[in-house]
Chain A
Amino acid sequence: MSQSQTLPLKRHQDENPRDDDSSDIKPSRLKISLPSEDSDKKILIKRVKDVEICVPIVYGTIAFFLGRKASESQSHKWTVYVRGASNEDLSAVVKRVVFQLHPSFNNPTRVVESPPFEISECGWGEFEIAITLFFHSDACEKQLDLYHHLKLYPEDESGPQNTKRPVVIESYNEVVFPEPSEAFLARVQNHPAVVVPRLPDGLNLPSPVPVEPMNDKERGDTKDHPLNHWFLNFSEADELLKLAAARQQVQAHIVKLRRQLTLMEGLPQSKQPSG
Chain B
Amino acid sequence: MDVKNILGGLPNFSFPLQEKNSSEVCALTGGFAPLMPAVDLSLLKKKPPSDKKVIWRWLPFKNSARKDDLQLHHWIQVVNGVPPTGDYSFAKYNKSVDITRYTDEEYEKYLANPKWTKEETDQLFDLCERFNLRFIVIADRFPSSRTVEELKDRYYSVSRAMLIARNPSSTDVAMDPLVQEPYNVSQEMERKRAQSLILSQTKQQERRDEEVLAEAKRIAELRIMTKVDLESELDVASKACANVTERANPGETVSPSNTELPPIVVSSMTSTDNASTIASLRMLYVYSRTYALGQMVQSASSSAGLRTIKRVDQTLQELGVNLKPRVPTKTVCAEHLELRNEILTLLNLQKQLQNKEVEGSSFRDGSHCETTGTPKRLHRGGDQDLTFVPDNTSSGGERIGKRDQKRKSLNKFCMLSLGGNRNGVAICGALLIGIVNLVLSSSELNYWQF
- Residues in chain A within 8 A of chain B (CB atoms): 1, 3-4, 36, 54, 56, 60, 128, 132, 135, 139-149, 151, 169-179, 234-236, 238-240, 242-247, 249-254, 256-258, 260-261, 263-265, 267-268, 270-271, 273-275
B70 at the interface (CB under 8 A from A): no
Q: How far is the CB of B237 from chain A (nearest CB, A)?
A: 18
Question: What 7 A-B pairs are tightest by C-beta distance, nearest first?
Answer: A145-B257, A174-B289, A246-B319, A257-B349, A243-B335, A140-B286, A149-B250
24 contacts between A and B (CB under 8 A): A132-B257, A147-B253, A169-B250, A173-B255, A173-B289, A174-B329, A176-B286, A177-B285, A179-B285, A236-B327, A236-B332, A244-B335, A245-B319, A247-B342, A249-B388, A249-B390, A250-B315, A250-B319, A254-B346, A260-B438, A264-B353, A264-B356, A264-B360, A267-B435
B153 at the interface (CB under 8 A from A): no
Contacting pair A268 B359 (CB below 8 A): yes
Q: Which residues from A are CB-within-8-Å of B283?
A: 3-4
Q: Which residues from A are CB-within-8-Å of B286?
A: 135, 139-140, 142, 144, 175-178
Q: Looking at the complex, which of B72-80, B399-407, B423-431 is the stretch in contact with chain A?
A: B423-431
Q: How far is the CB of B245 from chain A (nearest CB, A)?
A: 7
Q: Which residues from B are CB-within-8-Å of A139?
A: 286
B162 at the interface (CB under 8 A from A): no
Q: How far is the CB of B268 from chain A (nearest CB, A)?
A: 9
Closest to B334 in A: A243
Closest to B384 in A: A256
Contacting pair A250 B343 (CB below 8 A): yes
Contacting pair B350 A243 (CB below 8 A): no
Query: Known interface pairs A1-B261, A254-B345. Does A240 touch B388 (Cβ–Cβ under 8 Å)?
Result: no
B274-288 CB contacts (< 8 Å) to partner A? 281-288
Contacting pair A239 B285 (CB below 8 A): no
Q: How far is the CB of B333 from chain A (nearest CB, A)?
A: 9
Contacting pair B320 A242 (CB below 8 A): yes
Query: Known interface pairs A60-B251, A145-B257, A246-B319. Does A253 touch B356 (Cβ–Cβ under 8 Å)?
Result: no
Q: How far is the CB of B65 from chain A (nearest CB, A)?
A: 67
Q: How far is the CB of A248 from chain B (nearest CB, A)?
A: 10
Query: Known interface pairs A243-B321, A247-B342, A254-B346. Does A174 touch B285 (Cβ–Cβ under 8 Å)?
Result: no
B152 at the interface (CB under 8 A from A): no
Contacting pair A267 B434 (CB below 8 A): yes
Q: Which residues from A are CB-within-8-Å of B327?
A: 172, 234-236, 238-239
Q: How far is the CB of A23 from chain B (nearest CB, A)?
A: 26
Closest to B255 in A: A146
Closest to A174 in B: B289
Q: How far is the CB of A271 from chain B (nearest CB, A)?
A: 6
Query: Known interface pairs A239-B327, A258-B349, A260-B438. Does A144 touch B319 (Cβ–Cβ under 8 Å)?
Result: no
In the bound assembly, the distance between CA atoms of A274 and B428 in angstroms comes to 11
Query: Known interface pairs A236-B332, A267-B431. Does A247 touch B338 (Cβ–Cβ under 8 Å)?
Result: yes
Q: Which of A169, A235, A273 has the most CB of B within 10 A?
A: A273
Contacting pair A176 B287 (CB below 8 A): yes
B366 at the interface (CB under 8 A from A): yes
Residue from B253, B288, B424, B435 within 8 A of A144 (CB atoms): B288
Contacting pair A54 B251 (CB below 8 A): no
Q: Which residues from B are CB-within-8-Å of A260?
A: 353, 438, 441-442
Contacting pair A143 B257 (CB below 8 A): yes
In the bound assembly, the distance between CA atoms of A145 and B290 in angstroms comes to 12
Q: Which residues from B are CB-within-8-Å of A170?
A: 251
Residue from B288, B346, B367, B431 within 8 A of A253 (CB atoms): B346
* Chain B window 243-277, contacts with chain A (Cβ cutoff 8 Å), 1 for yes, 0 for no: 00101111111011110010011000000000000
Contacting pair A144 B326 (CB below 8 A): no
Contacting pair A174 B339 (CB below 8 A): no
B130 at the interface (CB under 8 A from A): no
Query: Known interface pairs A148-B250, A240-B331. Does A271 touch B363 (Cβ–Cβ under 8 Å)?
Result: yes
Residue from B282, B292, B321 within 8 A of A242 (CB atoms): B321
In the bound assembly, the distance between CA atoms of A1 and B268 in angstroms comes to 14
Closest to B365 in A: A273
B328 at the interface (CB under 8 A from A): yes
B191 at the interface (CB under 8 A from A): no
Query: Known interface pairs A135-B286, A173-B288, A247-B338. Does A56 touch B329 (Cβ–Cβ under 8 Å)?
Result: yes
Q: Which residues from B are CB-within-8-Å of A258?
A: 349
B379 at the interface (CB under 8 A from A): no
Contacting pair A178 B329 (CB below 8 A): no
In the bound assembly, the distance between CA atoms of A170 and B255 in angstroms comes to 15
Contacting pair A146 B288 (CB below 8 A): yes
